[in-house]
Amino acid sequence: MKNNTTQSHSLYEQALRDKAMMPVIGYGTAGTGKTYGACGAAVEWLAQDKRKKFLGVRPNVSFAEKSGFLPGTEREKMEPWIRPIMQNLAANGLSYNQQECMEKNHQIQYMPLEHIQGMTFDDTFIIVDEVQNMTFEHIKGLMTRIGKWSKVVLCGDVNQVSPMFKNSGLAEYLDMIEYYDMDVHTIQFGRDDVLRSGICKKQIICFEDWEVDKHKA
């Protein structure tokens, strides 16, 4: 994890590496290192044993208007959505060349959300990015796919739901976890946990405050 980390980051790091293999949800403000931290734990996981696998899942929902039909193979069509995960793996020391080789050996996989139904994932570190753009049924379908010795990490922010997506299930899933006291680590990040530049942090704070203050103006 980067410098100037906070208590939330420390709790997140511990949860990502717990021996009980409990699922983890890192949610909250943008720029707090949720995906970066998860990818760091995934790189460590892959280094343990060649039998260990990594699965990246990200809803195919863009934040802006769709750019139209994307040509190419299924993997090539997924490229814009999985690129943030690939960048964070590289930032944690797993080069793009290494990632490419591990993909060819099926140690690293990326899968569209709709393709995981009916599958079970053993010995796999699973990162689901932008989970706020999944419905409750999507989350249910994913969390019931976890196999033996697998770790799943959900990263998202209930305040960053895409305008193209109106049925987020993240808040409901968090409510269910609290209601049943489920064995899931939930770590919430706020503006004090932002790791990006000072300019970026100020922008995030102003955008968050404006959502409240604009109704007073």
> Is pLDDT at 63 greater than 50 in this prediction?
no
> Is pLDDT at 23 greater than 90 in this prediction?
yes
Does residue 1 form part of some domain? no
Average the pLDDT over each of 160-169, 170-179, 196-205 and give the range with the smallest value: 160-169
Does residue 179 form part of some domain? yes
User: What's the average model confidence in pLDDT over 116-139?
Assistant: 93
Domain count, the chain: 1
2: tokens are 């980067």
Supply angle C-alpha 26, 36, 143, rounded to 5. 40
User: Domain containing 102 — which CATH number?
Assistant: 3.40.50.300
The pTM of the full predicted model, rounded to 2 decimals, is 0.91
Model pLDDT, residue 184: 98
Closest CA to 147 of 175, 119, 179: 119
User: What's the average model confidence in pLDDT over 39-66?
Assistant: 84
Angle at which helices 136-143 and 170-180 pack, to 10 degrees?
60
What are the residues whose beta carbons fall under 8 Å from the beta carbon of 52, sequence distance 6 or more? 45, 46, 107, 123, 124, 125
Does residue 123 form part of some domain? yes
Does residue 128 form part of some domain? yes
Does residue 76 form part of some domain? yes
Angle at which helices 74-91 and 34-48 pack, to 10 degrees?
90
Does residue 160 form part of some domain? yes
Mean pLDDT of all residues in the chain? 91
Does residue 171 form part of some domain? yes
Strand order from edge to edge, sheet including 53-57: 108-110, 53-57, 124-128, 151-156, 24-28, 185-189
Does residue 2 form part of some domain? no
Q: Which domain holds residue 170?
A: 7-64+71-213
